[in-house]
Structure 1
């Protein structure tokens, strides 16, 4: 069921002069050949997006919404086919892939509604003057999506751009291209005008270094690592191009002494292993009150160790492989460094099996601040459990990294909740749940975790310009 892969430029599918293999991370078997765009392809995509923007910006918000909603409906109808593709190229369990398709459709559905609510306003003014504020689509968007959510991550970028009246060139991930292909197919079938949505693949640096300096590119939107985000931001800054950056995280979880210990531990272990830990909001650094630490640790380790690991296509599997072979040595090194500095390894710690890019569900405890994993997001199935004496210490530890994307807490004390809302330095903070975002809520980070927001009523702001109009009856 894996789709034949093509570039999509100016409403037409095309091959490229060069291609590379797409590999199933669970079996290491080739799934298909990925076309890599060259400069001619990118120039055609830019020309198409320029033409598409002129058409789409003049399309009424209601018509835009109708097309977006039709495409989302097609994605829902094709849920099983898209989920099979996601599991094949990424490795996540099929049940999680099915949910990802629905979440991607929800992003489109929410932003379709927001397309009709990009309100301006009239400002009271002195006699004889009229002051008003207007919003306009910013222009052509260059978007870059990662491999960890093959369908829902491209959906965020495409939904925001199309709802706002922008055209877009999407560079989707080389490891997981199929999800974006399915999105484009849905929009093609929904009647989106040619040139509004263009899809390319290839060498990331070649594509970004060509597109970002182009005068027609008015916004660069990325979900990716902080290192890549800083690099693309530095290029964009040379051309005064706006950026929307959803970058890395290293999410803390504060477990207070009044929490339901068993429920918090079990839900934490399950969520940590979701997507094999390859989630920018994945709960990783657990700071647990010392009075409940041993109980929490026992429940957490037991559930983590019981995680069923395997090919995501098989029934009952809870955790698939990491998405590529590069992750295995990185994760192994983080564990070895932590243990060498005094941490205790309670379960896991290495590669799982001989075929596929699997890593064992891993739990480290009493990890010193000097360990690399306390500063670097593992982006894998590794959890750190550390005891703390009080809430102040927990908050200090939570804030002791340069990242601030998501944070979590388990407590029912109102005073603790108020203090953490005020003091934990993250863009998304969840209490008694490990769900970080919904389509109707703004998602993004602080500090080194990025700029701007996707989702919620704030989600279209980056894709719009603001124009102040001052109109007087007489020349003054």
Structure 2
């Protein structure tokens, strides 16, 4: 990492790293061991006020900065993240638990987003409208203003970049509140931005009691946009707070992704793809495939093959070579999964693999497969956010679509079929912001990432991520 006096876990306000000073400190745990690995300071009321004032100053200067300069900062940040990928991965694995290979891939993915937004920073265009001689009408795109951005712990490197990159490309300033459970990952990413030349008042990082931080930032007239990644209930709460200021919003909320598997799919290939994707990051992914609806003709073979592959997933400390799935991120998650599985079993679900906690002091839970899960089971209606696959059978295309759309969530959906006409129907009929057919990749730097219904609105990534940070202004001159 760069030579810096930055504490591992600190606030960053007005170009200064801050810790101590009588601030409340919260323990940070290693989820593989349960041990405390450090503390993170909470921002005081004065800290938040200073962050808002700095963001206002930073916006006034950064909005006037040429797109080429903003692009250069983003490109340099991407290069630094690639250069430091191994160090960043080690930090993320220690704080969040995922295997090192996944954490390194996350860092490389973050760099790709920065490269894309660097290109977009010099392509923010308006237009001139045709008028009679002597009259000119223009449509301008301008940065919306300071952004209050809140992101989750499950992708502690990527989520930070997803918030900072499009805002900075657009000419906005940002106050970022990452998760208190993965603070060093966030500060290490911001250090890359600073080392790339980002002015100190353009991006701030604060930690604290989430409700206190959000109420302060969203009540301020300085803040002109809310960007949030997290659960549906918290997202709805933040939207209510932000409504008083009528600010722009991007909300990436929870999901409960359906997977429709038809009997004409390449079964072995489909199973290999889905099992690996299901247990990526221990299933703690908003787009994780969760509700597997399998056509009658292949149901038994699919369930048996899924369970067999699941039992082969190596669970352990993410820093140890050979680990395919790490622990859950915090002590709350095993408790929540255990309760959901017990409820499903009581309703009649069959455990084909897993179904128990792991050994040791870490927050481990075995990769679990439940078959014949009744619709009334709690887990079929609420996002489990863990290494849990739920399998049910279906007969017809219409039944599959009905089940896919049954819940209020609409973030990601997955379909596996070789029938071209069916693929077209599914792409149109399945209610989600992202539909993958015969693959599971929802995230691409140049494609919008976002949901519909209770899964939120607005998009990150792609040109749409830049547009979400702009206002549209008409100018008429005669």
Query: Equivalent residue of 1:453, what SS?
Result: coil
Alpha-carbon distance between aligned partners in 2 of 1:59 and 1:269, rounded to the nearest angstrom: 47
1:215 maps to: 221
2:382 maps to: 376
Matched, 1:8 2:4: no
Kindly report the root-mean-square deviation, in angstroms, between the aligned alpha carbons of the 2 structures.
1.2
Matches within 5 A, 1:393-408: 393-408=399-414
1:265 maps to: 271
Matched, 1:193 2:199: yes
Query: Equivalent residue of 1:67, what SS?
Result: helix
Q: Is the 8 A contact 1:265 1:297 kept in 2?
A: no
**Cα deviations by residue, 1:14-69 (Å, 9 ceiling, x for unpaired):** 11412111110001111111011110111111111111111100100000000111
Alpha-carbon distance between aligned partners in 1 of 2:356 and 2:132, rounded to the nearest angstrom: 71
Matches within 5 A, 1:18-417: 18-417=24-423
Alpha-carbon distance between aligned partners in 2 of 1:125 and 1:415, rounded to the nearest angstrom: 46
Query: Equivalent residue of 2:182, what SS?
Result: coil
Deviates more, 1:222-231 or 1:118-127: 118-127
Please state how far the C-alpha of 1:3 moved relative to its aligned partner.
Answer: 6.3
Query: Equivalent residue of 1:291, what SS?
Result: helix
**Cα deviations by residue, 1:260-281 (Å, 9 ceiling, x for unpaired):** 1111112211110100000000
Alpha-carbon distance between aligned partners in 2 of 1:260 and 1:298, rounded to the nearest angstrom: 15
Alpha-carbon distance between aligned partners in 1 of 2:414 and 2:355, rounded to the nearest angstrom: 25
Alpha-carbon distance between aligned partners in 1 of 2:8 and 2:236, rounded to the nearest angstrom: 34
Q: Is the 8 A contact 1:27 1:355 kept in 2?
A: yes
Query: Equivalent residue of 2:224, what SS?
Result: strand
Q: Is the 8 A contact 2:295 2:394 kept in 1?
A: yes
Alpha-carbon distance between aligned partners in 2 of 1:178 and 1:113, rounded to the nearest angstrom: 28
Query: Equivalent residue of 1:106, what SS?
Result: helix
Please state how far the C-alpha of 1:410 moved relative to its aligned partner.
Answer: 0.8
Q: Is the 8 A contact 1:304 1:362 kept in 2?
A: yes
Please state how far the C-alpha of 1:293 moved relative to its aligned partner.
Answer: 0.8
Please state how far the C-alpha of 1:412 moved relative to its aligned partner.
Answer: 1.6
1:428 maps to: 434
**Cα deviations by residue, 1:74-130 (Å, 9 ceiling, x for unpaired):** 111111110000000001000000000001111111111111111111122234321
2:448 maps to: 442
- Give the TM-score normalised by structure 1: 0.98
**Cα deviations by residue, 1:201-232 (Å, 9 ceiling, x for unpaired):** 11101100111010010001000000000000
Alpha-carbon distance between aligned partners in 2 of 1:128 and 1:412, rounded to the nearest angstrom: 59
Alpha-carbon distance between aligned partners in 2 of 1:21 and 1:142, rounded to the nearest angstrom: 24
Query: Equivalent residue of 1:258, what SS?
Result: coil
Deviates more, 1:421-430 or 1:2-11: 2-11
Q: Is the 8 A contact 1:428 1:437 kept in 2?
A: no
- Give the TM-score normalised by structure 2: 0.97
Please state how far the C-alpha of 1:368 moved relative to its aligned partner.
Answer: 1.1
Question: Structure 2: which 5+ runs fail to align?
Answer: none
Alpha-carbon distance between aligned partners in 2 of 1:133 and 1:457, rounded to the nearest angstrom: 17
Please state how far the C-alpha of 1:286 moved relative to its aligned partner.
Answer: 0.6
Q: Is the 8 A contact 1:3 1:85 kept in 2?
A: no
Query: Equivalent residue of 2:243, what SS?
Result: helix
Q: Is the 8 A contact 2:7 2:17 kept in 1?
A: no
Question: Structure 1: which 5+ runs fail to align?
Answer: none
Alpha-carbon distance between aligned partners in 2 of 1:293 and 1:126, rounded to the nearest angstrom: 67
Query: Equivalent residue of 2:219, what SS?
Result: coil
Alpha-carbon distance between aligned partners in 1 of 2:88 and 2:361, rounded to the nearest angstrom: 25
Query: Equivalent residue of 2:28, what SS?
Result: strand
Alpha-carbon distance between aligned partners in 2 of 1:262 and 1:453, rounded to the nearest angstrom: 33
Deviates more, 1:276-285 or 1:342-351: 342-351
Q: Is the 8 A contact 1:142 1:219 kept in 2?
A: yes
Alpha-carbon distance between aligned partners in 2 of 1:122 and 1:54, rounded to the nearest angstrom: 26
Query: Equivalent residue of 1:460, what SS?
Result: helix
1:452 maps to: 458
